Homo-oligomer: A and B are copies of this chain.
């Protein structure tokens, strides 16, 4: 693996493909830490296994497991899913596994962004985050891809979406947060995204989902489903604090023009009714440093937008909510060539994210 410090994807003709373009495979990380995953992670691991199996129906899946969980991961996952040992601080593959870029000949490289646990010493969620931060490079080495080193720029994979045709989508709430790159102007951040993702247009949504501890990652509120088309997490409940947030994003999208000069066609994806963590669930979470991770009744950032697009399937969350079926139907309509699989993910949501957050695609020829 060559570590590239003297060039950029833009300069070398590599671009980040959209998630709906073909994948070589998918990376996940086996969940372990007891202050993220309630009651020792047993339920979370079951959900991760279900998700890995659903993705593996149509693409290769590699699951990274820490040394202590390797045997268990191997036992719980089916033989066609590869398990590799790799240390990490937690299990958010989207945010610190490499962002992959591809050139016209199909060659793939990784980007190794800086990672600081969603805010570093400002408002990061745990300390330390050194093992997470090493993963992008380790995975490029494992998959034999050269890697662009951009550790001086803090970015999580879940904070950007691209349409594969020159447009990137982010939220101001996240990318302009003090915990990311406070020394840079918005313009400088935008230029960095353009250079590394090789896009010409950056759409800045104002915010993400209410109480999303990632500082409002775009991948929980809005996602491209095709070039020029996106789903947006939506509620009609004017009493819900999310109402104005989603409306503000819609307003932004409605006036946006993408890199190809298109207006974005927005499909509203209903939100489930507010999901709150119970006292019993809180009791199953170890303390993180001096503080409890969550408090009973706290609202979790549940959203159906947090789905993964596999080569042949959509793998989406379910919350046991009346809106589950409706959200599934909408996504199935938007992805007619992929069967939508809905998995009950409350145990992942409690950890702080959902299916998109725990997966990272490797673009390439499907195999």
Residues of A within 8 A of B (CB): 1-3, 67, 70-71, 74, 79, 82-87, 131, 134, 137-138, 141-142, 144
A2 CB contact (under 8 Å) in B79, B84, B86, B141: B79
**Quick check: A138 and B85 within 8 Å, CB to CB?**
yes
**Quick check: A74 and B137 within 8 Å, CB to CB?**
yes
**Quick check: B82 and A1 within 8 Å, CB to CB?**
yes
Instruction: Give every chain B residue within 8 A of A67 (Cβ-Cβ).
Output: 67, 87, 131
Instruction: Give every chain B residue within 8 A of A1 (Cβ-Cβ).
Output: 74, 79, 82-83
- In whole angstroms, how far apart are the Cα atoms of A1 and B1 in the complex? 25
A146 closest partner in B (C-beta): B79
Q: Can you list 13 pairs linking A and B with CB atoms under 8 Å apart? A: A1-B74, A1-B82, A67-B67, A67-B131, A70-B138, A74-B137, A74-B141, A84-B84, A84-B138, A84-B141, A85-B86, A85-B138, A142-B142
Instruction: Give every chain B residue within 8 A of A141 (Cβ-Cβ).
Output: 74, 82-84
Instruction: Give every chain B residue within 8 A of A144 (Cβ-Cβ).
Output: 82
- In whole angstroms, how far apart are the Cα atoms of A347 and B83 in the complex? 34
- In whole angstroms, how far apart are the Cα atoms of A137 and B137 in the complex? 23
Using A74-B137, A131-B67, A134-B71 as known contacts, say yes or no to A142 and B84 having CB atoms under 8 A apart.
yes
A289: shortest Cβ distance to chain B, in Å? 22
- In whole angstroms, how far apart are the Cα atoms of A70 and B134 in the complex? 9
A135 closest partner in B (C-beta): B85
Instruction: Give every chain B residue within 8 A of A3 (Cβ-Cβ).
Output: 79
Instruction: Give every chain B residue within 8 A of A74 (Cβ-Cβ).
Output: 1, 137, 141
Other than A83-B141, A84-B138, give 9 A-B pairs with Cβ distance below 8 A: A1-B74, A71-B134, A74-B137, A82-B141, A82-B142, A82-B144, A84-B141, A85-B86, A85-B87
List of 10 A-B pairs having minimum Cβ-Cβ separation, nearest first: A67-B87, A2-B79, A85-B86, A83-B141, A85-B138, A84-B142, A82-B141, A1-B79, A85-B85, A85-B87
- In whole angstroms, how far apart are the Cα atoms of A137 and B131 in the complex? 23
- In whole angstroms, how far apart are the Cα atoms of A79 and B67 in the complex? 25
